[in-house]
Amino acid sequence: MNGALAKATRNIPGFGNNGLVDNTYRFFRHAVERRTHKERFIISDKSDYQEIYRDGIMQLRYYPHQDTEAFELDNEIVTPTTERLAPPVLLVPPLGVFGWIYDLMAERSWVRFLNARGFDVYLVDWGAPEKEHANLDLDTYVNRWLSAAVDNVIMHSGSKDVSLVGYCMGGLLTLLYAGIQAEEGTDDKIKNIVTVASPIDFHASHFYGTLLDKVANATKGLPLPNVEIDHKFFHVPGDVLSIMFKMTNPLASFVSYFDLVKNMSDRDYIKAHLTTKEWFNNMPDYPGATVQQLVVDFGIKNRLAKGQAKIGDRLSNLSKIKANLLSFAGDNDKIVSEQAAEKIMDIVASQDKSFKVVPGGHAGVFAGGKAKHHTWAITADWLAERSNK
């Protein structure tokens, strides 16, 4: 169906610019283009940034303030403030995803939103591990990379401390880092911590929590052999990780695909849909050494729920964390239950601590259509109240 036909039928009822012919043409054109040039629809990672530090596949980004005029964010007008709030915010993504989930698209960008609220924004990007990186462990992520990221943010910003915002596993890495700093008496560089859907009590999370609890009870008292196992046996390829994530809510994947077909003539809808799906369809590998520690120490032994974990040769003592803490859980999260996330409230020594249950599943609570009004707004307001102008 070409432009001439669309023009010829423009004035025929039902065949105008938004009529049957035009919609049918765009439907098939988009359907083909989605298959042959998917990259044209991916609109994530578009905010300008500067790389200020790199170590191997890890990268630390700084996002300068970019919006000076009012802009639209999820169908609402946001007017950027001219105030500059301190301390700066360091965004910490989970493993198994790309850091651009914090800059998912213009209307779902934590980076842009926090910038508009007056914060200097930094992000640690863990890169894309492959099988050759199977030996990457929590010691590297916490004691080497996250530690270097915090120090470089402080140096680059000129601030004496930082606010850390971590989603899912990013929240765990943040708490583990804070626990080490607290244990060693160097936690004055951490002022505020925000965690979103971060599990602490692994045995309290839905079906797999029950399974882990049964395994723990079955192996209680048994001596575990001190045998070095090749980390490649625990390494999880990105495509397998993607399938595992989708299996937590298979109905949602079906409904999502049906909605895509229904809206195939709407290019903006396709962009939003494919960009969001890229999060779940394009996942980097999960390093074997990290998986091994997650399964044994945090899963079966449930060490985080007990307040302490050994990371490399250093002790992370969550019970000594005194930084201001805000923690979120989703009311429909199929991966991290409210109880699993709320456990941190019983452990930390923080005087200023709050726990919020907000609408959404594991991804929705972080970047869903309602997240701006709940998780994002609450986080920005909470940080602003604990910041210096």
The residue segments making up the domain with residue 361 are 43-385
Q: Which pLDDT tens digits describe the chain residue by residue (389 residues)?
A: 445 544 544 444 443 455 666 767 666 665 565 566 565 555 555 689 999 999 999 999 999 988 778 877 666 777 888 889 999 999 999 999 988 889 876 667 899 999 999 999 999 999 999 999 999 999 999 999 999 999 999 999 999 999 999 999 999 999 999 999 999 999 999 999 999 999 999 998 877 677 777 777 777 766 655 556 778 888 998 888 788 766 665 545 544 544 545 556 556 555 555 666 676 678 899 999 999 999 989 999 999 999 999 999 999 999 999 999 999 999 999 899 999 999 999 999 999 999 999 999 898 899 887 888 899 999 999 999 999 86
The C-alpha atoms of residue 187 and residue 147 are separated, in whole angstroms, by 11
Instruction: Read off the CATH number of the domain in which 213 is found.
Output: 3.40.50.1820
Beta bridge mates, 55: 58
Looking at the fold, whether 150 and 190 belong to one and the same domain comes out as yes
Residues 28, 104 within the same domain: no
- Please tell me whether residues 287 and 370 are part of one structural domain: yes
- Answer yes or no: are the C-beta atoms of 283 and 238 closer than 8 Å: yes
Do 234 and 378 sit in the same domain of this protein?
Answer: yes
Tokens at residue 212, please? 């882990």
Domain identity same for 141 and 27: no
Could you please report the per-residue DSSP string of 206-252?
HHHHHHHHHHHHHTTTPPPP--PPPGGGT-B-HHHHHHHHHHTSHHH
Q: Are residues 22 and 82 in the same domain?
A: no
**Do residue 228 and residue 280 come from a single domain?**
yes
Residues 126, 12 share a domain: no
Output the pTM of the full model.
Answer: 0.83
Residues 217 and 352 in one domain: yes
The Cα 106–Cα 114 span in angstroms is 13
- Do 161 and 227 lie in one domain? The reply is yes
One-letter amino acid of 27:
F
| Strands of 324-330's sheet in order across | 50-55, 58-63, 119-125, 85-92, 162-167, 190-196, 324-330, 353-358
CB 60 within 8 A of CB 52: yes
- Residues with Cβ within 8 Å of 199's Cβ and at least 6 positions away in sequence, in order, are 168, 172, 205, 304, 335, 336, 337, 340, 341
Same domain for 153 and 134, yes or no, is: yes
- State the total domains in the chain: 2
Residues 297 and 378 in one domain: yes
